[in-house]
Amino acid sequence: MAGIIAVPPAQAFNLTAPAVAQRSDVVEIAVQNKQVSAAYRRKKVRLVTDEKAGTIIIDTNNKYLYYVEGNNRATRYGVGVGRDGFGWSGIVKIGRKAEWPDWVPPKEMIAREARKGRKIPAFQEGGVDNPLGARAMYLYQGGRDTIFRIHGTNQPWTIGQNMSSGCIRMMNKDVEHLYDRAGVGTKVIVVGPGNRQGKVAFEDRGIDVLRTMFGG
């Protein structure tokens, strides 16, 4: 099985919330800026791939996750991906799953945020305010936790952005939909900048076509 490959950072997008005053027009603008683009709504698309039905393919460049349905079809979801310096690619599997998961940030994250003057909890119970959202699928390789997850979010407006520490974020309604379909052991292919797992070619003829040629 191919290893996880560190890749050059993709361009990051800074999400800045406008100052919200008491005027209703300013509030309306702030709300509009937090809406998810229609391009990232869940959709059935055409997908040409050699991968079996039930495989997950994540295109971090374009912020899409594909669940292969077979017969050249897939369900496409919009996702948020790793920010500057946190991109990766590789072939992994879902090692375990959790509903309304607790959040235990890695020590490295706690230390990194502390250097920025931010204090994050060592543990946060699952719930609507938890950054992992409604569901989490934990990605493993060789029987070991990679510390990367496919999970929901309490910040849905970050979908379509480079905002995470390497995890794949989904809207809660989408991660619940995927969670019910993707079981433990599901193969997950992450395609990112500098990917060396295989060749990827995109076509645009009015439909989504993602051709993958991966081994393993």
List the one residue out of 174, 126, 133 whose CA is nearest residue 155: 133
Residue with tokens 């005053």: 21
Q: How far is the C-alpha of 94 from the C-alpha of 116, rounded, in Å?
A: 32
List the one residue out of 87, 69, 88, 85 whose CA is nearest residue 77: 69
Considering the candidates 137, 167, 170, 210, report the single residue annotated as catalytic.
Answer: 167
Q: How far is the C-alpha of 142 from the C-alpha of 173, rounded, in Å?
A: 30
The verdict on whether 151 is a catalytic residue reads yes
Half-sphere exposure of 104 (CA within 13 A, CB side): 2
Considering the candidates 63, 76, 149, 151, report the single residue annotated as catalytic.
Answer: 151
Confirm if 151 and 136 have CB atoms less than 8 A apart.
yes
> Based on C-alpha coordinates, what's the Rg of the chain?
18
List the one residue out of 167, 171, 127, 134 whose CA is nearest residue 34: 171
Confirm if 214 and 189 have CB atoms less than 8 A apart.
yes
User: Would you please indicate which residues are annotated as catalytic (active-site) residues?
Assistant: 151, 167
